[in-house]
Structure 1
């Protein structure tokens, strides 16, 4: 008798049938390999329904709940959502709050580009003081629910309003860049496009990072516009409509060296004489431009919509070289 087998019998342990064990292992491995192929991919998340009312007295600047997503502290819409549900709440700016839901539209193939543009807007956690006109008229508040492939979602609240004085928020950070007409166009047509000013000298929506620097890094060109008290704004570059990368980066460095702090479009007039302003538009290889406004007759005299600072002689001399006074 085989001693190994005899010892097992005497100890009460049943002998192992190795052929059966190997076959079972092969079957188990086969099952493990086959299982993933039989699991269906999860269906894309379906956007939740719109709230029946706009539950805030503010124009824009409200969402049903802030999202717990990576990146919401740095961008209005982080990541790449798969759909965007737009909910519309029309009313009057003289009596804001509790507007009823008027309709909705879902964007799918347009959601990525919409998120890209909104994600590039300059944001802040500060409540920026700003001056607005007070024309009475219609307002339409909007909620936009961005849905992500993993089932998560994020709300953005904004509005279109006759005074263009709106704050857009995701519940964590906010932007004073005005995008109301672009949202209205997307709601009506189903196509998203971030509308740009017709005049290249008019302020744009700005660029992410302007809450940290007057001009975010990476500018490759700059357009300098001088606006006189008559209201006419005309590009006045010394060589063509735009200056190149060297001038753009030198000017950006000078602006970023200012002692800046959070602030909006308010200022205190100083001095007298003819009033004029300078608008600087910094272009980049990718994404929107960053704008800076310089008003020598005001304090603070420099602002980018999120930060403010004061003009110095070196910066003023640089402006005069790039856009000589008329």
Structure 2
């Protein structure tokens, strides 16, 4: 692993951005692309930018398709109150850690549509990142994102994007040369972002369900676990709802006082998928990319599984 640092701004936060391009010497009609970091961040966006989008199979369904063998991380630190044109501060090349990094980013849910979200507006340091994943056949894929205080970052490969937040893990990889996403001490507080949640509330075949009650997690008991059969039955129910692309907002229901519920679906491999149930709001069901209304039978089914 190699770390190079240029003079200027120090590392304060992390992000991810990307696009796929042909490496120098690759066969094809596209012009060769240098295998080095751009000297400046080429956008006013915090995250969500790549130098170019490449024609690689699977880029619409996954941030990092296939099996890259090397990752070049480029860091562009700055301030989120004055974004745009940040200078390259340094780079690190990962080899033995590249596959794990690519695999975890590939698990994040993506969409080719715009996804709305509510963001806090705290000012502070941020770091944009470009990650260039190199493949054995000579092709490469850029992924771009950022770490910043509001966690309101878009990650992209130039074709598909994700609102899932990977900033701290990317910062650790850049600074220490280790890809090490840290699981939450409390599963109720985990991110719960999994590939396929742009198509289904609960993708795949979960192996366990944790039902978390009350977003503040301050009144025990607030957590209750259930086995595979219950997890898959509730997943099927949620997947039967009529969904719309999420703008991650909802309209409050007057007079409603029920505490919110968060559903964490765990899998034998890869990250969990989380679904938030806002009992006092409509639409009440939200997994990040998708939203749906909550009818009484589904509400009753969830309440029966929740801690009392």
Moved more, 260-269 or 114-123: 260-269
1:49-70 deviation line (CA, Å, top 9, x unaligned) = 1000001010100000012111
> Does the C-alpha gap of structure 1 residues 205 and 174 become closer, same or farther in structure 2, counting only changes over 3 Å?
farther
Q: How does 1:50-199 map to 2 (within 5 A)?
A: 50-199=37-186
Q: Which residue of 2 aligns with 1:204?
A: 191
> Does the C-alpha gap of structure 1 residues 289 and 279 become closer, same or farther in structure 2, counting only changes over 3 Å?
same
Higher relative contact order (CA 8 A, sep 6+): 2
Give the total of aligned pairs. Answer: 279
> Does the C-alpha gap of structure 1 residues 99 and 149 become closer, same or farther in structure 2, counting only changes over 3 Å?
same
| Greater share of residues in strand | 2
Q: What is the CA–CA distance in structure 2 between the aligned matches of 1:300 and 1:97, rounded to whole Å?
A: 35
Q: What is the CA–CA distance in structure 2 between the aligned matches of 1:262 and 1:282, rounded to whole Å?
A: 21
Q: Which residue of 2 aligns with 1:298?
A: 281
TM-score (norm 2): 0.86
* Kept in 1: contact 2:248–2:286 (CA 8 A): yes
Out of 209, 216, 235, the residue aligned to residue 222 of structure 1 is 209
Q: How large is the RMSD of aligned CA atoms in angstroms?
A: 2.0
Structure 1: stretches of 5+ with no match in the other structure:
1-41
Q: What is the CA–CA distance in structure 2 between the aligned matches of 1:274 and 1:301, rounded to whole Å?
A: 13
Q: How much has 1:235 moved relative to structure 2?
A: 6.2
> Does the C-alpha gap of structure 1 residues 275 and 100 become closer, same or farther in structure 2, counting only changes over 3 Å?
farther
Q: Which residue of 1 aligns with 2:270?
A: 287
Q: What is the CA–CA distance in structure 1 between the aligned matches of 2:121 and 2:266, rounded to whole Å?
A: 33
Q: Which residue of 2 aligns with 1:323?
A: 306
Structure 2: stretches of 5+ with no match in the other structure:
1-24, 26-32
2:230 equivalent to 1:247? yes
Task: Please give the secondary structure, in 1, of the residue aligned with 2:226.
Answer: coil
Q: How much has 1:220 moved relative to structure 2?
A: 1.6
* Kept in 2: contact 1:201–1:235 (CA 8 A): no
* Kept in 1: contact 2:221–2:307 (CA 8 A): no
Q: Which residue of 1 aligns with 2:253?
A: 270
Q: Which residue of 2 aligns with 1:3?
A: none
Greater Cα radius of gyration, structure 1 or 2: 1
Moved over 6 A (4+): none
Q: What is the CA–CA distance in structure 2 between the aligned matches of 1:313 and 1:57, rounded to whole Å?
A: 45
> Does the C-alpha gap of structure 1 residues 165 and 267 become closer, same or farther in structure 2, counting only changes over 3 Å?
same
* Kept in 2: contact 1:282–1:289 (CA 8 A): yes
TM-score (norm 1): 0.82
